[in-house]
Amino acid sequence: MSTTLSLDGRPIPFTPGQTIMDAALAAGIYIPHLCHNPDYAPHGSCRVCMVGVGGRLVSACTTAALDGMTVESNTETIQSTRRSIVQMLFVEGNHVCPACERSGSCQLQAVAYYVGMLSPHFPQFFPQRPVDASHPDFMIDFNRCILCELCVRASRDHDHKRVFAVSGRGLASHLVIDSPSGLLGDSHFAASDRAAQVCPTGAILPKHRGYEQPIGQRLYDQAPISVVGDLRAQPGGE
């Protein structure tokens, strides 16, 4: 049985049990997101996918779609709030896009363009975080981690390894690795793991493959994320 909600004035059919995000993506409508991946249970941590329902903001990835529901996504107020959230993600880490291997295919960068972010706006935190290059095939730059927990969920639910977890609270929250030394090279992580492919930033990167595709010819250089979607949420996505 299919029912309908209204998204920015457009009727969107959905199946009971779907979320607003599920319904929008099924209809080919982009709602910006970072922690969402249709392969895993909704997380709702990044809050970038917030939409307006009944005069309040809710996360599209965790809110159930209801028949007759009226949803707003593309108002300037909502886009401004999303922009502030993305600006905070940038200043809480160390994201230097021009020097990043993921530039042009980075979901965080593409979402920033989509919401109209032209500057970090807030004072930079400049945290001092390590780079873990102990694994033979992959490295982790913790400076770029936005705590979306996609790698955590992929390792747990898809790879059945539980290599990653988030420890601490508030500003002290950080990604940790389950190994005797706390290093990726001492864990059960493998290049074939789904957890190696889902990071929406440049935090988890393959080694020995730097800059294979020239900047200017990468995914989001060709078209905005609202058109091509999230590469890592698609079958065969890298």
pLDDT digits (tens, 9 = 90+) for 187-211: 999 999 999 999 999 999 999 987 8
User: Would the pLDDT of 236 be above 60?
Assistant: no
What's the rounded Cα separation, in Å, for the pair 214 and 97?
Answer: 14
Question: What is the arithmetic mean of pLDDT over 24-32?
Answer: 96
* Residue 194: closest CA among 228, 167, 234, 225: 234
Question: What is the arithmetic mean of pLDDT over 87-113?
Answer: 94
* Residue 180: closest CA among 188, 172, 169, 190: 188
What would the pLDDT profile of 127-169 be if each residue is shown by its tens digit? 999 999 999 999 999 999 999 999 999 999 999 999 999 999 8
User: Would the pLDDT of 36 be above 90?
Assistant: yes
pLDDT-derived band at 3, boundaries 50, 70, 90: very high
Ordered by start, the domain boundaries in the chain are 3-74, 81-208+218-228
What's the topology of domain 3-74?
A: Ubiquitin-like (UB roll) (3.10.20)
Fold match, 3-74 / 81-208+218-228:
no
Please say whether the structural domain 81-208+218-228 has been given the CATH code 3.30.70.20: yes
